[in-house]
A and B are shown apart, each in its own frame.
Chain A
Amino acid sequence: MAVIDIKNLSYIYGPGTPYEKKALEDISFSVEKGELLGIVGSNGSGKSTLIQHFNGLLSPTSGSISVLGFDARDKKYRDQLWQKVGLVFQFPEQQLFEASVFAELAYGLKNMGLKHDEIEYRVQEALESVGLAAKQVLDSSPLCLSGGMRRRAAVACILAMKPEILVMDEPTAGLDPEGCAQIWGTIKKIHKEQGTTVIMVSHYINELVLLADRIMVLENGVMEAWGPPRKVLGGEDMLNIDVLLPDYLKLLYELKKKGAKINTGMLTLEEAAGEIARILRRSE
């Protein structure tokens, strides 16, 4: 079952002004329930604009979008979509404002109209799922936490609302390797254990290819490639796209451009090494 269905979506910033800018052009795809979708693209490719359509912050200039079975262009439906589609913005720790971590996590839950017991339970649960010890952080100010912990607390704010679809905009940007691993651990857990549909945005493709069921490559507001990671990497679409590829994939693409008959659909360094060894053996 498709939870998000988008057809011919276009979005233009400031139509009719001298600043008119086409951010998205004729995008069509659908997201299946329970899948992990990765959206990849360089800066300014329209990733952030696209995901703001998912929870009703933006409405398409043309084309259609339905989320969880209803038309998301409808203003009334759009205004309550935030309860079902959780959107974690880029650098979410910059949006913390309450005096304590508890109040911070409870903010969204209060806006949902939940009872106090339920709020307390969900806050505990969300903090645990991001790997923060509830007892230690609950009463402290979010500003007193370390950078990585603040990021996790901000992610927990959205997780506590138990969205059916979780959308995250570069959740690991600017974190150290340990912080990245923790965020990824949380996402895997949410995805596997609760069956939440997860949409991840990143400009590093190697973060996503290992986990995502499907990936989408955006470039200048146009969808350049779409499908399972192996198929996207192995296809011809990626040859001329300026996405930040890991070095081993860059090498494979260079070889392919030079005419080598090589399969570029390799997800890890080991696989890529194996593929190159295979080519070398054959040429001997």
Chain B
Amino acid sequence: MKKMTLGQYLPGDSLIHRLDPRTKLIGCMAVIITILVNDHWLGLCIITLFIAMIIIMAKIDVRAVLRGVKWLWLLLTLTFFFQAILTEGDPLFHLGPMIFSQEGLSLGIITVLRLLILYLSSTILTMTTSSMKLAGGMEALLSPLSYLRIPVYQLAMLINVSLRFIPTIIEEAETISRAQKSRGAPFNSPKRSIQLRAALAVLIPLIAASLQRATDLAAAMESRCYTGGANQSRLKNLHYGTNDFMAFMLIVMVCILPCFYF
């Protein structure tokens, strides 16, 4: 109901939405690693096309996503600008004392593309995967670690619970800060120390409420016999289908093969 938050899950029924969360997690990681390792422009182009294809398939309104993040544009523009003028090479043209070199321009474009892909790939993951599925996927991917006596299931429950309560806490923070504003809390005071005290008036009730909620949740879970073991069953088991296999092959083709060729 409130302002749209970054990468918020948008329920949908596209092919991308239906993919197994494990496929999407691996895919996202593969894309990120590839663009960090591989800096050949052709490889970047392929991945850019790949991301564009996914956006179209997921039926996400990408303009709304990009419009929502002003700081991203600032970062991209600055990155491009500084790469372009600070890289030495064949001068192409100049604006006043600043010289734009050919190498600078191409490096600028590549860096901007990389940042954009980094941002988009993780955003697409969280926009098309509900937090429940995301946590389930993470749990499944990390489960081999349980042989090393790492409590994967508890960690997954931890992630699950925290993801679940983020929107609740954001909403609560908003309500409390409005309530304190109604009592004249000086959030906009020019003095830092006063601002800090005003922030405390929001933080203290927020933490108190969170602790209370955690206690209630623990009681609710225990009263339903939760013991934290690995034998939890879930309503919908993860299912690895043909689509996932195909998506996986595509990821291999797009991300791993270019590493050998370029």
Binding site for B on A (CB under 8 A): 13-14, 16-19, 21, 52, 55, 57, 79, 82-83, 86-87, 89, 92, 94-97, 107-108, 111-112, 143, 157-158, 161
Interface check B182, CB cutoff 8 A: yes
Query: Which residues of B have CB within 8 Å of A19?
Result: 1-4
B179 touches A92 (CB 8 A): yes
- Which of B13-21, B106-114, B197-205 is the interface stretch? B197-205
Query: Which residues of B have CB within 8 Å of A157?
Result: 183
Taking A18-B10, A18-B64, A94-B205 as contacts, is the C-beta distance between A86 and B184 under 8 angstroms?
Answer: no
* Minimum CB–CB distance for B63 against chain A, Å: 11
* Minimum CB–CB distance for B157 against chain A, Å: 27
* Minimum CB–CB distance for A85 against chain B, Å: 8
* Listed A/B pairs (26) with beta-carbon separation below 8 Å: A13-B2, A14-B1, A14-B2, A16-B64, A17-B3, A17-B68, A18-B10, A18-B64, A55-B182, A57-B178, A82-B181, A82-B183, A86-B182, A87-B179, A87-B182, A89-B178, A89-B182, A92-B179, A94-B176, A94-B209, A95-B179, A95-B205, A96-B205, A111-B185, A157-B183, A158-B183
How distant is the Cα of A162 from the Cα of B95 in the complex, in angstroms?
62
How distant is the Cα of A19 from the Cα of B68 in the complex, in angstroms?
12
The 10 closest A-B pairs by CB, nearest first: A111-B184, A108-B183, A97-B204, A17-B4, A87-B182, A95-B179, A89-B179, A97-B205, A82-B182, A95-B205
Taking A17-B64, A94-B205 as contacts, is the C-beta distance between A111 and B10 under 8 angstroms?
Answer: no
Give how many B residues have a beta carbon under 8 Å from the other chain's beta carbons.
Answer: 27
Query: Which residues of A have CB within 8 Å of B10?
Result: 18
Q: Mark B43-84, 1 if CB is under 8 A from A, else 0.
A: 000000000000000000100100110000000000000000
List which B101-138 residues lie within 8 A (CB) of chain A: none
Interface check B180, CB cutoff 8 A: yes
Contact count A vs B, C-beta below 8 Å: 67
How distant is the Cα of A86 from the Cα of B184 in the complex, in angstroms?
10
Interface check B7, CB cutoff 8 A: no
How distant is the Cα of A53 from the Cα of B178 in the complex, in angstroms?
12
List which B151-192 residues lie within 8 A (CB) of chain A: 175-176, 178-186, 188
Query: Which residues of B have CB within 8 Å of A57?
Result: 178, 181-182
Query: Which residues of A have CB within 8 Å of B180?
Result: 95
How distant is the Cα of A282 from the Cα of B128 in the complex, in angstroms?
66
How distant is the Cα of A83 from the Cα of B178 in the complex, in angstroms?
14
Query: Which residues of B have CB within 8 Å of A112?
Result: 184
How distant is the Cα of A264 from the Cα of B42 in the complex, in angstroms?
77
B184 touches A52 (CB 8 A): no
How distant is the Cα of A108 from the Cα of B185 in the complex, in angstroms?
8
List which B209-228 residues lie within 8 A (CB) of chain A: 209
* Minimum CB–CB distance for B243 against chain A, Å: 25
How distant is the Cα of A87 from the Cα of B45 in the complex, in angstroms?
56
Query: Which residues of B have CB within 8 Å of A158?
Result: 182-183
Given contacts A19-B1, A82-B181, list 19 more A-B pairs with CB under 8 A. A14-B1, A14-B2, A14-B4, A17-B3, A18-B10, A19-B4, A52-B178, A57-B178, A57-B181, A57-B182, A82-B182, A89-B178, A94-B176, A95-B180, A97-B204, A107-B201, A108-B183, A111-B183, A111-B186
Query: Which residues of A have CB within 8 Å of B181?
Result: 57, 82
Interface centre among B183, B186, B188 (most CB of A within 10 A): B183
* Minimum CB–CB distance for B7 against chain A, Å: 13
B205 touches A107 (CB 8 A): no
Query: Which residues of B have CB within 8 Å of A14?
Result: 1-4
- CB nearest to A154 among chain B residues: B179
B183 touches A161 (CB 8 A): yes
Taking A94-B205, A97-B200 as contacts, is the C-beta distance between A13 and B178 under 8 angstroms?
Answer: no
How distant is the Cα of A143 from the Cα of B205 in the complex, in angstroms?
11
Query: Which residues of B have CB within 8 Å of A92?
Result: 179
* Minimum CB–CB distance for B122 against chain A, Å: 19
* Minimum CB–CB distance for B61 against chain A, Å: 7
* Minimum CB–CB distance for B189 against chain A, Å: 10
Query: Which residues of A have CB within 8 Å of B68?
Result: 17
- CB nearest to B185 among chain A residues: A111
- CB nearest to A55 among chain B residues: B182
How distant is the Cα of A52 from the Cα of B174 in the complex, in angstroms?
13
